[in-house]
Amino acid sequence: MTLNNKTYDVIKWIAQYFLPALATLWITLAKIWNLPYGTEIGATITGIDLFLGAILGISSQNYKGDGTMTVDTSDEAKDIYSLDLNVPAEELANKDTITFKVNKK
């Protein structure tokens, strides 16, 4: 499973900032104001956060980037560079960043 960039970024923001802050806020307020199920709700939020983190990790492992740049240094006179794209070249112009794997021969 690989998430598209926008989905990945939204889930990452939720998992890194929103859910940890929400869990901390709920546990703190529950303790101060004697709200019900403080620990249970805090643990549930934390469990959801862990699950989203696992999804992000799986997506990162499966991400192949936009292509591969091969660097051939076998000729002492000159290096040869080639670029193999995983997406149509026209799509690259619409992106803010592009990612290439580097393969050295």
Give the pLDDT confidence of 5-55 residue by residue, as tens digits: 899 999 999 999 999 999 999 999 999 999 999 999 999 999 999 999 999
Q: What is the DSSP string of 75-91?
A: STT--EEEEEESS-HHH
Q: What are phi and psi of 39, to 5 degrees?
A: -70, -40
83, β-bridge pairs? 69
Distance CA 103, CA 72 (A): 9
Please state the pTM of the whole predicted model: 0.72
